[in-house]
Amino acid sequence: MIIQLNTDSHIKGDESLASHVETVVEGVLGRFSGQITRVEVHLSDVNAGKAGSNDKHCTMEARVDGRPPAAATEDAETVRDAINGAAHKLKRVLDSSLGKLGK
Q: What is the pLDDT of residue 66?
A: 86
Query: According to the 3-state scheme, what is the secondary structure of 70-87?
Result: EEEEEEECCHHHHHHHHH
What pLDDT band is residue 52 in, cutting at 50, 70 and 90? low
Domain segments of the chain as ranges: 2-100
pLDDT per residue as tens digits for the range 61-84: 999 988 899 999 999 999 999 999
The pLDDT assigned to 54 comes to 79
Q: Confirm if 87 and 60 have CB atoms less than 8 A apart.
A: yes
How far is the C-alpha of 51 from the C-alpha of 80, rounded, in Å? 17
pTM of this structure: 0.89
Distance CA 39, CA 26 (A): 10
Q: 30 with 47: CB under 8 angstroms?
A: no
| 78 three-state secondary structure | coil
Second CATH level (architecture) for the domain 2-100 = 2-Layer Sandwich (3.30)
Distances (CA, A) of 98 to 2, 17, 62: 19, 29, 12
Closest CA to 61 of 41, 80, 75: 41
Select the more confidently predicted residue: 73 or 100: 73
